[in-house]
Amino acid sequence: MLSVALRLFIFCLFHPCIQGPQVPVNTEVLAQMIQYFDEKLQPGGNNQYSVLIRVPYQHCTDRFSLDSVFNTNEIKTAFNYFKTNRGRRLYEVTKDSVSLTATKPSLDPTSSSEEDDHAEYILIYSRDDANTPSPLQKILDMINDDQCVVLYTYNSPCITKCINDEDDSILHGLSNWKNTQTTGIKAFVFQKIWPKDSTGLAEDQKEQFTKINDLVPLYRCVKNNNQMQCYKCGTAGSLMLLPDCVS
């Protein structure tokens, strides 16, 4: 059996060696991924949802395509059920070398309409108990060098709760992601700026979004003329974010 070091050497002879934390996702390929999510899982209109996916790194650098992976009628039906059924708040599937979890915000059991936990929060933290790993932790527990992990949220994380609230902040979970996945590719992606939490001031958004970007590379994907385009928002540690990411 080949040693780990020898397998890594052979791998790097034929592929771009992706060791180290600074490898970026290809934004054109990322656009293919987010377009796929919107087509297969977006629950109508501007409704919020989030997706966490783990794929071989080629799906983040060369071409994103899951048509040959998620091609069973069972998975197609489950995708459509998540997309169209309000009661289906979470769907998890692992097939071959791909793991995907899609979530909607959880519903407050005391209300027929109010949302409780936000979608991206459900992906990052366990909702049941400390002994049950979250979808993100499940992926981090099985991570290896040639993987790409992307967390996509249709609406940006809310500033008051998801970023700044000490108890509900997603930053603790993103810090764990940063420290655990030290190789391969990772990306935190959003499409819309959540209007209920925005002051409309780019400076306020920049201040908050840099907190995410300092932990996990932050990207924004938007549709222009029905074509998805993605942008890398900035460099970790820098207060400068691309204007397209904050307005």
Total structural domains within the chain: 1
Distance CA 151, CA 136 (A): 9
User: Is residue 227 in a domain?
Assistant: yes
In a domain, 129, yes or no: yes
Is residue 207 packed enough to be buried (19+ CB in 10 Å), middle (13-18) or exposed (0-12)? middle
Q: Where are the alpha helices (DSSP H) in 126-226?
A: 135-141, 171-180, 202-213
Residue 26 structural domain: 19-245
Q: Could you tell me if residue 202 is inside a domain?
A: yes
Alpha carbon distance 62, 44 (integer Å): 29
> Model confidence at 135, in pLDDT bands (50, 70, 90)?
very high
For the domain that residue 86 is a member of, what is the CATH number? 3.40.140
In a domain? residue 217: yes
Is 103 within a domain?
yes
Would 157 be classed as within a structural domain?
yes
The reply to whether 195 falls in a domain is yes
Report the C-alpha gap between 49 and 26 in whole angstroms.
23
Burial class (CB in 10 A: 0-12, 13-18, 19+), 93: middle
Q: What is the model's pLDDT at position 112?
A: 46
Nearest CA to 67 among 35, 109, 112, 43? 35
- What gap in Å lies between CA 76 and CA 29, rounded to an integer? 22
Structure confidence by residue, pLDDT tens digits, 84-119: 998 888 999 999 899 999 999 976 544 444 456 789
Dump pLDDT digits (tens) for 186-228.
999 999 987 766 555 556 677 788 889 999 999 999 998 889 9
Position 163 confidence tier, pLDDT thresholds 50, 70, 90: confident
Residue 11 counted as domain residue:
no
Three-class SS of residue 218? strand
pTM: 0.85
pLDDT band at 13 (very low <50, low <70, confident <90, very high): very low
